[in-house]
Chains A and B, each alone.
Chain A
Amino acid sequence: MALTGLFLCLFLVGHLLGNLQLFVGGEEGREAFNNYAQFMTTNPLVKVLSYLTYAGIIFHIVDGFVLTIQNRKARPVKYVVEKGNLNSSWASRNMAVLGTILLVFLVSHMQSFWYVMHFGDIEIVDGVKDLHSVTVDFFNPAINNLAAVMTGLYVFAMLSMAFHLNHGFQSAFQTMGINHPTYTPVINFVGKAFSILIPAGFASLPIYLFIIQS
């Protein structure tokens, strides 16, 4: 759980850095993004990395489900009154729910972009697949009449990710046995910052694309 979770955190950093190129406007931005997308789907090293990421996600999900089921079984009769909010954070008690939201998002997200890029009917511009237009159009209300809903859902999913990471990042270190009077406060701080900045970065893109096109 901890290893796969932290590995996925690294993936998020890479993915976000790539996506941020969408902020670059005009022809230049389109070219840069499309070349980047081409590189990401063809480079053998990236291929290896992507298979590792798939494996990581699958392992993380299966492990998460197994843990959650075992943990439910460990308390067959529930409390009539239980006040978890007095002793633990909401995110820490709802990791499986937050994870499931992320899973639903992931499937829809892969279908919108990954599937189109690999198997979809996609235009070729300057010799490379034009994923840039697919992305930009997806959040354009003039082209996709669900653009507003999609933007909202993306922001919601990123909010879920923020909470998932808010507990998950720091929790992974505790799981691996790292708890130290000096380093743990640093880890907690980095975790909080990570859980706010990364989802905020991801969410900023659909918001930006939606606003400039409406």
Chain B
Amino acid sequence: MNITLKIWRQKGPNHVGAMETHKMTEVSGDMSFLEMMDVLNGNLIREGKEPFAFDHDCREGICGSCSMFINGEAHGPGRNVTTCQLHMRSFKDGETIHVEPWRSAAFPVIKDLSVDRSSFDRIIQAGGYVSVNTSGETIDANAIPIPKHDADEAFDAATCIGCGACVATCKNSSAMLFVSAKVSQLSLLPQGKPESKQRVIRMVDQMDLEGFGNCTNTGACEVECPKGISITNIARMNRAFLSSNLTSK
């Protein structure tokens, strides 16, 4: 198939970017979107031009690196997929495809399609952990019985890969889906309970400090999330945030 690509080109964090047009011929429908980008970059390098910078790592939907806003949607068309899991057969022959970076004040562009998501790391550092003694006397996690329902919900929340599609998609650039998934994953389990109050307050405070917007419950995040994280987690976090603020000293 033949396609026309319009891809965001931006030299660096402080440069103004613009869309750049490239035509591609003989694209196989079985290529993943990233393989198509590799071919394009190969062509550019052979022509002595600058290839496009983009993040990728696992190429199997588990690392969350491959941040691309394709044709107006995070990770492009299709539900529950990352960009690396998106195939070119999802597009029509002759289609024009727009490729942009995640756009959010809290995710500054490093170069082209590559953005700095260390704001997520700082939110995790603020409270996304359990303080367990690992001196050699560690208690086996399985020694503590956990209701099946809680375990299932915690596991569902834990499938978040920190890709940032929720922020990229949200019209307010809110990080509530990501943060609520991380809060839920830990707070639903017994090991996470002792720190649950301070965790939710610290993580939400850090989220606000990073310049993410406020959640207005449009629900776009859960539709575009490659892991199907539900906004039920956001309600749970709102509940926990409110009660933790009311009851913590």
**Which residues of A are in contact with B by a Cβ distance under 8 Å?**
67, 70-71, 73-84, 86-89, 92-93, 95, 167, 170-171, 174-179
Query: How near does chain A come to B67, taking the closest CB pair, in angstroms?
Result: 13
Given contact pairs A81-B100, A83-B72, A88 touches B213 in the complex (Cβ within 8 A): no
Contact count band on B: 35 or more
**Which residues of B are in contact with A by a Cβ distance under 8 Å?**
6, 8, 17, 19, 69, 71-73, 98, 100, 103-106, 169, 171-174, 211-220, 223-224, 231-232, 234-240, 242
CA distance A102 to B140 in the complex (A): 58
Judge whether A179 and B235 touch: CB under 8 Å: yes
CA distance A91 to B98 in the complex (A): 26
Given contact pairs A74-B211, A177-B236, A179-B236, A79 touches B72 in the complex (Cβ within 8 A): yes
CA distance A179 to B222 in the complex (A): 14
Judge whether A81 and B218 touch: CB under 8 Å: no
Judge whether A171 and B220 touch: CB under 8 Å: no
Judge whether A74 and B105 touch: CB under 8 Å: yes
Judge whether A75 and B231 touch: CB under 8 Å: no
Given contact pairs A71-B214, A71-B216, A87 touches B105 in the complex (Cβ within 8 A): no
Judge whether B217 and A177 touch: CB under 8 Å: no
Judge whether B242 and A177 touch: CB under 8 Å: yes
A-B contact pairs, 5 of them (CB 8 A): A67-B214, A73-B105, A79-B100, A87-B219, A89-B219
Judge whether A81 and B98 touch: CB under 8 Å: yes
Query: How near does chain B come to A174, taking the closest CB pair, in angstroms?
Result: 5
